[in-house]
A and B are shown apart, each in its own frame.
Chain A
Amino acid sequence: MYAQLVKSDGLKAREDMSAEERAFQDRVDNGEKIEPKDWMPEGYRKTLIRQIGQHAHSEIVGQLPEGNWITRAPSLERKAILLAKVQDEAGHGLYLYSAAETLGVSRDELLEKLHSGKMKYSSIFNYPTLNWADIGAVGWLVDGAAIMNQVPLQRTSYGPYSRAMIRICKEESFHQRQGYSIMMKMAFGTLEQKEMAQDALNRFWFPSLMMFGPSDKDSVHSAQSMAWKIKINTNDELRQKFVNETVPQAEYLGLTIPDEKLAWNEDKQGYDFSEPDWAEFFEVIKGNGPCNRERMEARVKAWDEGEWFRDGLNAYAEKAADRRKAAATAAEKPGYR
């Protein structure tokens, strides 16, 4: 997940394709995996870099709202679980930056684009975590929504991306369960805990629905990505599936989904629900969400203040390589000893 509004070119008709493009499309249609050294259309490469890069950025920015509660986690076990989870997210970032590198873009280039605002990350991480139940809600709803999108992406056409997704999905399903376990403790706990749980659901419900991106009728970039199997399902399909699975989970917790229009629709065998406020979504994407400024400041500060550290390690590595070279040269020329 975590890729919204990924720009791609319009869908190319088969008759407009070159022979190479047709052969490529046939491989994708046959379910073959595209590997880094294979020929690929430039648009495929660029769209994948944007999508994988946005996903990677979301993983590392996503450390911040959860990291916000590590030092305040209410028990040693919860602290350990949260640390393990946030560490996993950073690991996902690592796999994904590596997958993007196979397409010819370095991690440093992608980070530069994140820091300068040229690349985005998921809108969801621009919302604050205000009480402990938010850590439950992030696992339950945010990771839950991510899984909806990532499970089908295990079958995506690009080999390194697909393999990264397979690893990530295993960990995400554990994350979602730990989130729901926090929600259960809170929802079945004291009145104050239940109040926190409801408050978290109230604030995270619509932002979670936004994670799937705009409605299909407004999603202009989908057709080509779907033909290339970079995108497997439409935004609305995934959003519907998410609502259908999440509503009974909220009912079990005894919590109320903050949507008066929510109702079971027998004909479509799914829930009817209200659309999120798309004006809010576009504002958050533009940088006007509640935490956009803090999130970017934190990432840029970490990067800038880490420069001396990275430079120090690089300088040492160069010195060590020179020393090894000098030692090898000396060994080759016995007369110099």
Chain B
Amino acid sequence: MSEMPTNATADAAVTDQALQPAFFDWLCRMGDNALVLGHRTSEWCGHGPVLEEDIALANTALDLIGHTQMWLGLAGEVEGKGRDADALAYLRDAMKFRNFLLVELPRGDMAVTMMREFLFDAYHHLLLAWLSENSSSPRVSEIAAKALKEVSYHLDRASDIVVRLGDGTAESHRRMQDALDLLWPYTGEMFTSDEVDRAMVTAGIAPDLEMLRSKWEASVRDILEEATLKAPDPGGYAHLGGKQGRHTEHLGYILAEMQFLQRAYPGASW
């Protein structure tokens, strides 16, 4: 199990006992979003609509699994109970997972997959950009800077596909609009603060989510307009709960599949 890496950048936040519960929770949110979206994206492997997309989807999933390793690795250090990234990924049950409901929904067709990626990437990109520049935690900044390079590409690609399919054929337009209408009520969770988020803002580790929301809405609206898609009402209903561990029925099945070997053969090394 993990120990503090000896070459790690000095970071007082990592050992701050008062901050520890919220910081651990917040890092799990970062890692779990990447892990669960990576899992959903990886389900496409070998089943994509065209070879180039198959490669791009596997590549995106690979990036997200890499981010998971970094965020959950740091979460394990902050927690200080000897759990490493694998222990957190493979040996927590659904109620301990902190990802948004948005990322655990079934992958659907390519319209749902790419619309979700776009809506999440637009948030993820803004968040990582802020963290890499402004976070009071040097370790968080480092991880964010690494992930940002890849997520910039994810956002470019997803935006491009949303525009092309939105403004493609009547069928691709309809599918993209349906995907947007389906997913929109799950985007509010990304910007709904709770006490964990507020503690991170107070510590200077993470940004105010209301500030992110207005930027996100503006950038998402620009792309949707170019895609000839109709953005739903921003004040509409929001499904919440994932960040606090209250999930959809889907997450349990994701974990049953993902954690099978670790659960069936405890203590084995792979």
* A87-B59, A312-B164 known; A301-B47 Cβ under 8 A: yes
Known: A63-B46, A90-B58. A76 touches B257 (CB 8 A): no
Interface centre among A63, A76, A189, A193 (most CB of B within 10 A): A76
Contact of A309 among B50, B58, B65 (CB under 8 A): B50
Name the contact of B270 in the complex, choosing from A60, A78, A91 (C-beta under 8 A): A78
Stretch at the interface among A43-51, A67-75, A139-147, A161-169: A67-75
* A94 CB-CB contact with B under 8 Å: yes
Residues 27-51 (chain B) with a chain A CB within 8 angstroms? 35, 39, 42-43, 45-51
- Closest A residue to B45 using CB positions: A67
Q: Residues of A contacting B58 with CB < 8 Å?
A: 83-84, 86-87, 90
Interface segment out of the listed A244-252, A262-270, A274-282, A313-321: A313-321
- Stretch of B10-18, B124-132, B198-206, B259-267 lying at the A interface: B259-267
| Chain A CB within 8 A of B194 CB | no
- CA distance in complex: A190, B267 (Å): 9
Contact A71/B164 with A80-B65, A190-B268, A298-B47 known, Cβ cut-off 8 Å: no
Segment 52-88 of B: residues with Cβ below 8 Å from A:
52-55, 58-59, 61-62, 65-66, 68-69, 72, 85-86
Contact A308 B68 (CB under 8 A): no
A325 to B155, CA, bound (A): 28
Instruction: Give complex CA distance A303, B110 in Å.
Output: 12
Q: Which residues of chain A from 89 to 112 have any CB-CB distance to chain B below 8 Å in the complex?
A: 90-91, 93-94, 97, 107
Chain A nearest CB from B136 CB (Å) reads 27
Instruction: Say yes or no for B168: interface residue by CB 8 A criterion.
Output: yes
Is there contact, CB below 8 Å, between A193 and B268?
yes
Which residues from B are CB-within-8-Å of A107? 51
CB-based nearest A residue for B68: A76
Complex Cα–Cα for A91 and B54 (A): 9
A192 contact set on B, CB distance < 8 A: 265, 268
Q: How far, in angstroms, from A182 to B226 measured CA to CA in the complex?
A: 47
Chain A: how many interface residues by the 8 Å CB criterion?
49
A317-B164 Cα distance, complex, nearest whole Å:
8
Stretch at the interface among B146-154, B169-177, B229-237: B169-177
| A327 beta carbon closer than 8 Å to chain B | no
Contact (A63, B54) CB under 8 Å given A83-B42, A83-B62: yes
Q: Is B90 an interface residue (CB 8 A)?
A: yes
Bound form: Cα–Cα A77–B72 in Å: 13
- Report B-chain residues with C-beta under 8 Å of the C-beta of A306: 48-50, 53, 110
Chain B residues within an 8 Å CB radius of A84:
58, 62
B270 A86 Cβ-Cβ under 8 A? no
B257 engages A71 (CB within 8 Å):
yes
Asked if A79 lies at the interface with its beta carbon under 8 angstroms from chain B, I say yes
B153 CB to closest chain A CB, in angstroms?
A: 15
Q: With a CB–CB cut-off of 8 A, which chain B residues contact A86?
A: 45-46, 58
Once A76-B69, A80-B66 are accepted as A-B contacts, the answer to whether A312 and B169 lie under 8 Å apart by CB is yes
Please name all residues of chain B whose beta carbon is closer than 8 Å to the beta carbon of A189 when the two chains form the complex.
268-270
A298 to B260, CA, bound (A): 24
Q: Does B181 contact A (CB under 8 A)?
A: no
Q: Does A206 contact B (CB under 8 A)?
A: no
Per the bound structure, the CA–CA distance linking A301 and B48 in Å amounts to 10
User: In chain A, what residue has the closest Cβ to B111?
Assistant: A309
Q: Does B165 contact A (CB under 8 A)?
A: yes
Give the top 3 A-B pairs by smallest Cβ distance, nearest first. Answer: A306-B49, A312-B172, A312-B168
